[in-house]
Amino acid sequence: MKLKYLEEINSTNSYCKDNILNLEDRTVVYTFVQTSGRGRFARKWVNLGKDNLYLSIVLKPSSVLMPVYSNLTQYTSLILAQTFMESGVNPKIKWPNDILIDGKKISGILAETVFKNGELKGIIIGVGINLNADAKDFLQIDKLVTSLNIELNKTVDKIEFFERFINKFFDGYDLFLKEGFMFIKPKYEQFIDFLGKEITINNLDEKIVGIAKEITNDGAIVINDKKFFTGDIL
């Protein structure tokens, strides 16, 4: 693993995209000041002051990575949930990969691929983590959000959290590449609470309503006997 700290950047994901050819496999680019963070579905990821964490993990394609590529964000969400749990809170994973505390979002993941001349050059796993936000900063966000300092009622050591998260990520990474989603499924399921309940997911432009029956061995969610690999629980 290689670490690259940037004092300030528009977006760590954009930085990795622009520099993909010069960044080695398993490089982690991180900052505490991100001025134009991007979220899923072309949303923004707001900068919440200089004590929060914005990072991107660069992974380079290889024959072992390709089979598990679509489950990388689920692997990342599990590692995040475990890291939060060790910090003393009770996180839930909102399929496929948001992290919530009491229904409020504390962390999000944006995975992007970079192609050059039709060839996959890298996969970027971008993670935004609210560690030390001020509740009034949330007024600019039209969603239920929280931050670890608010949940714990104390200031969070951002470096300690960052190191614990990233070490845990790479400690299990090789085994995850080898074994795939099956290897993490039981642990992933400990952090979800919607199985057996009626949910609505947004899949492309379609809304699907039904009982969430199971998470399959390849990480899809089964609703009304149909498998979905992408989408968002509403």
The residues of the shown chain that bind ligand BTN, judged by CB under 6 A, are 11-13, 34, 37-40, 43, 45, 54-56, 98, 108-110, 126-128
Pairwise CA distance, residues 213 & 47, whole Å: 36
Do residues 132 and 154 make contact, with C-beta atoms less than 8 angstroms apart? no
- Shortest Cβ distance from residue 30 to ligand BTN (Å)? 8
- Shortest Cβ distance from residue 129 to ligand BTN (Å)? 8
Identity of the residue, 73 or 180, whose beta carbon is nearer to ligand BTN in the bound complex? 73
- Shortest Cβ distance from residue 211 to ligand BTN (Å)? 25
- Shortest Cβ distance from residue 120 to ligand BTN (Å)? 19
Pairwise CA distance, residues 204 & 223, whole Å: 15
Do residues 59 and 135 make contact, with C-beta atoms less than 8 angstroms apart? no
Identity of the residue, 146 or 180, whose beta carbon is nearer to ligand BTN in the bound complex? 146
Identity of the residue, 36 or 217, whose beta carbon is nearer to ligand BTN in the bound complex? 36
CB burial class (10 A; 0-12, 13-18, 19+) of residue 23?
buried
Identity of the residue, 128 or 180, whose beta carbon is nearer to ligand BTN in the bound complex? 128
Identity of the residue, 22 or 153, whose beta carbon is nearer to ligand BTN in the bound complex? 22
Furthest C-alpha separation in the chain: 50
3-state secondary structure of 178: helix
- Shortest Cβ distance from residue 224 to ligand BTN (Å)? 26
- 221 bridge partner residues: 215, 228
Q: Could you tell me the sign of the dihedral formed by the alpha carbons of 79, 124, 10, 45, in that order?
A: negative
- Shortest Cβ distance from residue 107 to ligand BTN (Å)? 8
Q: Measured at CB, which residue is nearest to ligand BTN?
A: 108
73-76's contacts with Cβ under 8 Å and 24+ in sequence apart are: 73/97, 73/109, 73/111, 73/125, 74/181, 74/184, 74/188, 74/219, 75/172, 75/173, 75/176, 75/181, 75/184, 76/109, 76/125, 76/127, 76/169
What type of residue is 60? K
Identity of the residue, 39 or 61, whose beta carbon is nearer to ligand BTN in the bound complex? 39
- Shortest Cβ distance from residue 225 to ligand BTN (Å)? 28
Identity of the residue, 37 or 180, whose beta carbon is nearer to ligand BTN in the bound complex? 37
